[in-house]
A and B are shown apart, each in its own frame.
Chain A
Amino acid sequence: MSSTPAFATLALPTADWRDFYALTKPRVMTLVIFTALCGLLAAPGHIDPVLGFTAILCIAVGAGGSAALNQWWESDLDAGMKRTRQRPLPAGRMDRSSARDFGFALAGGAVITMGLAIGVLAAGFLALAIFYYAWIYTVWLKPRTPQNIVIGGGAGAFPPLIGWIAVTGHVTLMPVLLFLIIFMWTPPHFWALALFVQTDYAKVGIPMMPVVAGERSTRLQVLAYALVLLPLTLLPWWLGYTGMVYGLSALALGLVFVVLSAQVGLRRARSEGDAMKPEKRLFAYSILYLFVLFAMLVVDHFATGVGA
């Protein structure tokens, strides 16, 4: 006979392990892990493979923890949007306190492990990245200002910086440039998405740029950020931190990014039955863009040896 009374368990949904995994936003984590790994591999110097693996794991787990805290805080908003309605909390497969405890445990565990295995500086930046996403972006900026994505983009920009610091133990201009590249990449990437899901954001009262400033202004800002991003990605090459492999790749990738952004930026506001193809194309390309750009950074490091 079971020791737990059957009626006592009904009020507490017991989430499956897959629900906890979903809470970490694994798809976003892919990009986090990849950019962190690229920062680690492109950094000058050497790190023991076990410590390198630990650093990447801590960054990934920290990102997962902050994603869980984000979903814990935003479960009511998520319930109101089609894109997020099936997440574990709004779908009722998990209770809020489990998500909160899981998020804090992951975040705390990742920072402590990073501090013990790698060092205080890397752990400090990881803690800052988690705080930035879970508090500054989620709690403070997102519900208050249409600039939420611009400033909040800093949260996603930390991984390559932390990966770099894990190897070198200090902050120089190059990892800051990597940070800035992701920082400037985030607004056009996210606003491309916001343009085709803006009705969802409007419904739950989140002041996303297309909802507050209107579609026309958002489109022009997408193009403006893409135009700033191009020379910024060329800076590491121009300053001699990378070689030609990265430089030419950044130029080619950036030009395509500008062209696709121009197709979105110079487009008129949507009409009835608009499939929003240019916006969807830009969103998809922006993900590929960042993957290839950072991959080229690593290829360049090993191929040319510049900055090693």
Chain B
Amino acid sequence: MTQPLTPAELAAFRARQKSRSRALALVLVGVAVLFFAITLVKLREEVALSKQARQAGVAQAAH
């Protein structure tokens, strides 16, 4: 049969729940920041590539 928790056990249980929630929140913020940074890098790479392609096109047209 399941026994009810003592107040001390309940407090410890809540503390563990809270620590998990905080850790999860930190991880989620970290993931959001990481994906934002990856997006910026990918955009920068795309812009640089299209600039190169444009310049190559201009050089070809000049010839």
Interface residues of A (CB under 8 A from B): 2, 6-11, 14-17, 20, 48, 50-51, 54, 57, 113, 116-117
| A11 in contact with B16 (CB, 8 Å) | no
| A54 in contact with B2 (CB, 8 Å) | no
Residues of B close to A54: CB separation below 8 A: 34, 38
Interface of B is mostly: helix
Shortest Cβ distance from residue B41 to the other chain A in the assembled complex, whole angstroms: 5
Residues of B close to A7: CB separation below 8 A: 2-5
- Chain B's interface size range is 20 to 34
- 9 further contact pairs, Cβ within 8 A, besides A7-B4, A14-B17, A17-B20: A6-B4, A7-B5, A10-B9, A11-B2, A14-B16, A15-B16, A50-B40, A51-B38, A117-B38
In the bound complex, CA of A18 to CA of B1 (Å) = 30
Partner of B13, one of A14, A20, A116: A14
In the bound complex, CA of A14 to CA of B23 (Å) = 14
In the bound complex, CA of A54 to CA of B38 (Å) = 8
Residues of A close to B47: CB separation below 8 A: none
Q: B53 at interface (Cβ–Cβ under 8 A)?
A: no
A11, A20, A50, A54 pick with most chain B CB within 10 angstroms: A50
In the bound complex, CA of A48 to CA of B13 (Å) = 43
Q: B37 at interface (Cβ–Cβ under 8 A)?
A: yes
In the bound complex, CA of A156 to CA of B5 (Å) = 43
| B41 in contact with A50 (CB, 8 Å) | yes
22 contacts between A and B (CB under 8 A): A2-B10, A6-B5, A7-B2, A7-B3, A8-B2, A9-B5, A9-B10, A9-B13, A10-B4, A11-B2, A14-B17, A15-B20, A16-B16, A16-B19, A16-B20, A17-B19, A20-B20, A20-B23, A48-B41, A48-B45, A50-B38, A117-B38
In the bound complex, CA of A6 to CA of B17 (Å) = 14
Q: Please, which residue of chain B has its CB at the minimum distance from the CB of A98?
A: B20
Residues of A close to B16: CB separation below 8 A: 14-16
Shortest Cβ distance from residue A7 to the other chain B in the assembled complex, whole angstroms: 4
Residues of A close to B41: CB separation below 8 A: 48, 50-51
Partner of A116, one of B10, B38, B40: B38
Residues of A close to B5: CB separation below 8 A: 6-7, 9-10
In the bound complex, CA of A57 to CA of B40 (Å) = 18
Across the A-B interface, give the 4 residue pairs with the lowest CB-CB distance, nearest first: A17-B23, A7-B4, A6-B5, A14-B16
Using A50-B41, A51-B41 as known contacts, say yes or no to A10 and B19 having CB atoms under 8 A apart. Answer: no
In the bound complex, CA of A11 to CA of B5 (Å) = 10
In the bound complex, CA of A8 to CA of B13 (Å) = 12
In the bound complex, CA of A2 to CA of B22 (Å) = 19
User: What are the interface flags for B10-41 relative to A under an 8 Å C-beta threshold, 1 for contact and 0 otherwise?
Assistant: 10010011011011000000000010011011
Q: Please, which residue of chain A has its CB at the minimum distance from the CB of B17?
A: A14
Shortest Cβ distance from residue B43 to the other chain A in the assembled complex, whole angstroms: 12
A2, A15, A20, A48 pick with most chain B CB within 10 angstroms: A48
